[in-house]
Amino acid sequence: MYKIVRKKVLNPTVTLMEIDAPMVAKKAEPGQFIILRVDEDGERIPLTVADFDREKGTVTIIFQIVGATTEKLNHKNEGESIQDFVGPLGVASHTDGLKKVAVVGGGVGCAIAYPIAKKLHNLGCEVHSIVGFRNKDLVILEDEFGAVSDKLCMMTDDGSHGTKGLVTDALKQLIESGEKYDEVIAIGPLIMMKFVCALTKQYDIKTVVSMNPIMIDGTGMCGGCRLTVGGETKFACVDGPDFDGHLVDFDEAMERSSMYKPFERSKHEAVCNLYKNA
């Protein structure tokens, strides 16, 4: 069992949890992920590492409540435990030799983009962060990004906070104004990453994306997380989760991620009803 040592509600649908997992904390690097099960009959879900504290032996996860499992997880409180927590899995993000990077985060994807921005900043890299949310109420990690970014562009769809517009608008503006990036790192909804890649392709800027497909074991065993990258089949769990965004078949990834949508919806409703009746 793995204890929840801290829980913080970041916005109505996004929660942060710091989990006591010393073995994972010792090895975790930005870009890697963990797999957890909330309870005995629970499903295994992958979540990317949002932060870690090697001395305290804790790993931080930030998750959006989208289905039955994240709903159950969100009902757990500080001091309670979750059943399983395994990692760190996948390959860590490559940060070597980068001098100037644009980090683009969308929604809860910012939780994954943040540790990478932080690591780059600590390595002395110039970091321009562009973060996008639907509206003011959903903004997370603004101060954290501010602390590790040489430039921070806050974007909201409705203009209720920061600048009205999409992350691609801000990125385009920066590039057009003459900013030269060694690399763009984009993490967020598939559709956002697809459009960031379409933009950076025009300017021929290397772009890395973090993929989060459906998976079970996270060690290469099931192949459920397979993606087409540059015409080849790759397993996100062992070959990724970071990939060259210009080579990823996003349309296929979007279709594959919808495989169990009806099941997920009905399970989520069932779990919500359970808590309502309790």
* Cα three-residue angle 67-113-180, rounded to 5 degrees: 145
Query: Letter for the amino acid at 117?
Result: A
Q: Evaluate the omega torsion of the peptide bond into residue 189 and state whether it is cis, within 30 degrees of 0.
A: no
The minimum distance between CB 139 and other proteins, in angstroms, equals: 30
85 binds other proteins (CB under 8 A): yes
User: Which listed residue (8, 83, 158, 265) binds other proteins by CB under 8 A?
Assistant: 83
226 binds other proteins (CB under 8 A): yes
**Quick count: other Cβ atoms within 10 Å of Cβ 195?**
18
Q: Give the C-alpha separation, 105 to 141, whole Å.
A: 11
User: Which listed residue (122, 135, 258, 273) binds other proteins by CB under 8 A?
Assistant: 258
Which CB sits closer to other proteins, 24 or 130? 24
207 binds other proteins (CB under 8 A): no
User: Which listed residue (100, 142, 217, 246) binds other proteins by CB under 8 A?
Assistant: 217
Q: Is 181 helix (H, G, I), strand (E, B) or coil?
A: coil
Q: Give the C-alpha separation, 39 to 3, whole Å.
A: 13
Are 209 and 187 within 8 A, CB to CB? Answer: yes
269 binds other proteins (CB under 8 A): no
The residues of the shown chain that bind other proteins, judged by CB under 8 A, are 23-24, 27, 37, 41-44, 68-69, 83-89, 216-217, 219-224, 226-228, 233, 238, 252, 255-256, 258-260, 263-264, 267
